[in-house]
Structure 1
């Protein structure tokens, strides 16, 4: 119903924003893996989703309105975020691998720790957004594409924000639907092993890209 109240150009930009956002965000990356694990642990999921949605919205509109200009003024910022992100992802990969190698009885849902305190969970959500170089790359892509829509670029940004919300809701609902499967402690070992591989692969990809 929403695009019906927009002009044709704004409706087109809005729809393009949704398609772009789903193409960029609907992948199991660092942030998605973090949300899935916290959701499976039933550890502050709604607070995490709210923080991630707010960060996405702020930076999507920020990228459309001038993030590219900031990175041109401070080109060192790109390199700093990249290498800090490599370190952050490597640390989380190590922690996930260590959990995966524990005995099943040691990682039952009651004893396994996601990020149990609300503060730690929210800091994790912020970290997996702002310390993830892929996040900044996505924002640069969004900002670049939005410029082609001229006066309708805010409609493009709104569509991208809606795509972000859809993906976050899918992750939240998916973690709840999968919860019964993870009543088996061995499933946690598999999940943590997969998360470790994803995080390590992202860290290596970013590191080789930074060196190159």
Structure 2
């Protein structure tokens, strides 16, 4: 009764490992050593909810309410574009980030940004809800075993990415590295914003 677990794990990892706005943000926060655990936890819980909804069959609702994804798409485009501009602006500041400081005042902003990168991206719904949901239901009675594998893939990836970036923060915390990181994050965000803007209606 565990034959669907490995396919779920592999499929979940294949869909989530691709560089995207969410992964770029986790990498950035990990290197900054700022609320990494909170960011990773939000991403994991969000994936658990979305993948489970897809397995439960909520995907048909999204397919029948196309305006919902379109609305999210344009909100996501604006948010990603603004974040990209902020990253490009930061890239011109050649300073070392104080990774020992844990400014509680920034927690709210980090939480909101993580939720935005996760829930305002239509690709999240297409991957987690529609694709994984449909694949899970193809396994019939083992659909929740497939889902468990996909969720484990998310847990493994997010924890590895967050912990890895945090572990390397002392090595990477230089003015040049931050220029490169902020510039790359800006490019990724802008690229995804353009992709979303050009994406045909669902």
Per the normalisation by structure 1, the TM-score is 0.87
Q: Secondary structure at the match of 1:194?
A: helix
2:116 corresponding residue in structure 1: 127
Q: Secondary structure at the match of 1:12?
A: coil
Instruction: Please identify runs of 4+ aligned residues in structure 1 that moved more than 3 A.
Output: 111-116
1:172 corresponding residue in structure 2: 162
Q: CA RMSD in A?
A: 2.2
Structure number with the higher helix fraction is 1
Residue 28 (structure 2) pairs with residue 37 (structure 1)? yes
Structure 1 gaps, min length 5 = 1-6
Q: Secondary structure at the match of 2:18?
A: coil
Q: Looking at CA atoms only, which structure, 1 or 2, has the larger radius of gyration? A: 1
Structure 2 gaps, min length 5 = none
1:116 offset after TM fit, Å? 5.8
1:71 corresponding residue in structure 2: 62
Q: 2:52 aligns with which of 53, 61, 65?
A: 61
Measured in 2, the distance between the counterparts of 1:153 and 1:206 equals: 30
Q: How does 1:46-195 map to 2 (within 5 A)?
A: 46-102=37-93, 104=94, 107-110=95-98, 117-139=106-128, 140-195=130-185
Query: Are 1:86 and 1:207, in contact at CA under 8 Å, matched by a contact in 2?
Result: yes
Query: Are 2:34 and 2:102, in contact at CA under 8 Å, matched by a contact in 1?
Result: no
Query: Are 2:59 and 2:133, in contact at CA under 8 Å, matched by a contact in 1?
Result: yes
2:190 corresponding residue in structure 1: 200
Query: Are 1:100 and 1:189, in contact at CA under 8 Å, matched by a contact in 2?
Result: yes
Count of matched residue positions in the alignment of Structure 1 and Structure 2 = 200
1:3 corresponding residue in structure 2: none
Measured in 1, the distance between the counterparts of 2:103 and 2:176 equals: 16
Query: Are 1:43 and 1:116, in contact at CA under 8 Å, matched by a contact in 2?
Result: no
Measured in 2, the distance between the counterparts of 1:19 and 1:156 equals: 10
